[in-house]
Amino acid sequence: MARASGAPQDGGYDYADRCLVAALLAGIAAAPDAHALFAETSTRLRRIAPFDAAVWVATDPINGLTTAPVRIENLHEGGCGTYWESELFAEHVNLFRDLARAETPVAGLRAMTGDRPSLSPLYGSFMRPRGFEDELRAVFRVGGRPWGQLSLFRARGRDSFDATDIALVDTLCTPMARRLRGFAQPTATSASALIDTPGMLLFDPAGSLISINDEARHLLALLPPGPSTVTPCGIQISLPAWILSTAGRARLAGAGARIRIRTSTGWLVCHASCLRDADSRSGPTVLVVEPAKASEVAALLVAAYELTSRELEVTELIARGLSTGEIATRLFLSPHTVRDHVKAIFDKVGVTSRGELVAKLFTDHYEPVTARNTIRVLDAS
């Protein structure tokens, strides 16, 4: 039923494999959360197109950077740093950011390099020392935005990933992205565990953590579980891979980098910036972790529900209680056009009234964000 290696003799899948593919797609649609999505999809996929190791990653849909959660299979912690850093500092073959814009967001290393995997820095520094001879990469995207990415590795002795494998994983990309996008849609959360003072982490020019404040420790404790690295400078804290990659991106690009991360209590935003000395040489990197502001939440809502910028404007005015006529006047639109926008918004968000829309988008999500910065005053007169 499952292929030991390579494509079957007829170049496609038999009836039993097609049944497995149908079950795989059904499992994606029914996954209760991102962790289960990665775990169950990996198990089912392995039965059809075997692989020896894998990295499943959720990404920030705004910029494509790695965020939480992350699932790593059959890779020891010691080699994870090389994998994460390859995209930022060394890799130039099958870059995830290039696949995110490609016509087909899936590619095999050997297929792409004409069976010359040594063209990839990752092959020499990470794959070959661990006995891996091929990698298949994919970006889970929908609506032009990347919601996740995948690396599958095959060990020495297996056939390379072929066109059938690429086509199979390609069929998963949009369903996986839609499910991950669904998990980003707001749900009722509690803001009580979040704090107002931002967390701060300081990395030296080599990328090692050298200082951290108590607020950062508190906020990092709220992050979902995932692969982490212990700081080499004696600070007793494990840093998630997505924190390191964000700081690394800022250090590499010499510009700001930011990601958004969903926690059990709401959204956090991590933004990093590389400092420079008087001669413009790269110095330490500062990373700030803090609860997401309303503007960050708005960007996520646009991505999660595929709202256009105009639809977001209409949504915000609905939340403020403006009528159709008032919205039309405010946005210089006709009432008919506003009604068309409202219908499109209802369809995308899955509601049937303005009250439902406000409850789903504002009451359940914006309100916990804004409540932390609200001061209530009672008139004593």
Count of domains for the chain:
3
Residues 80 and 208 in one domain: no
Rounded Cα distance between 284 and 201, Å, is 10
Average pLDDT over residues 275-301: 79
In a domain, 193, yes or no: no
For the stretch 286-296, pLDDT in tens is 999 988 776 66
Residues 291 and 239 in one domain: yes
The pLDDT of residue 171 is above 70: yes
In a domain, 192, yes or no: no
In a domain, 177, yes or no: yes
Average pLDDT over residues 348-374: 63
Residues 223 and 102 in one domain: no
Q: What is the CATH number of the domain that holds 359?
A: 1.10.10.10
Q: Which of 40, 47, 38, 39 is nearest to 20 (CA)?
A: 47
Residues 176 and 81 in one domain: yes
Token couple for 120: 């990839």
Residues 28 and 174 in one domain: yes
The pLDDT of residue 192 is above 70: no
In a domain, 381, yes or no: no
Going by C-beta distance under 8 Å and a sequence separation of 6 or more, which residues neighbour residue 337?
Answer: 328
Which of 269, 295, 321 corresponds to the end of one domain? Answer: 295
The pLDDT of residue 61 is above 90: no
Q: Which of 249, 206, 230, 271 is nearest to 80 (CA)?
A: 230
For the stretch 119-144, pLDDT in tens is 998 898 889 999 999 999 999 999 88
- The DSSP result for 286-334, as a single string, is EEEEEEPPHHHHHHHHHHHHT--HHHHHHHHHHHTT--HHHHHHHHT--
In a domain, 379, yes or no: no
Residues 252 and 323 in one domain: no
What pLDDT band is residue 66 in, cutting at 50, 70 and 90?
confident
How remote is the C-alpha of 210 from its chain's centroid? Answer: 27
In a domain, 229, yes or no: yes
Q: Give me the helix-helix angle, 294-305 and 309-319, nearest 10°.
A: 120
Q: What is the CATH number of the domain that holds 103?
A: 3.30.450.40
Which of 235, 263, 295 corresponds to the end of one domain? Answer: 295
Residues 288 and 314 in one domain: no
In a domain, 207, yes or no: yes
In a domain, 380, yes or no: no
Residues 213 and 360 in one domain: no
Instruction: Please report the pLDDT score of residue 261 as a whole number.
Output: 80
Q: What is the CATH number of the domain that holds 208?
A: 3.30.450.20
Residues 64 and 138 in one domain: yes
Residues 270 and 205 in one domain: yes
Which of 295, 317, 352 corresponds to the end of one domain? Answer: 295
- The DSSP result for 1-14, as a single string, is ---SSS--TTSS--
Residues 131 and 266 in one domain: no
Q: Quote the domain boundaries for residue 174.
A: 15-184
Q: Which of 183, 199, 224 is nearest to 68 (CA)?
A: 224
Dump strand ranges (E) for 100-144.
106-108, 132-142
The pLDDT of residue 275 is above 50: yes
Instruction: Please report the pLDDT score of residue 368 as a whole number.
Output: 45
Residues 217 and 127 in one domain: no
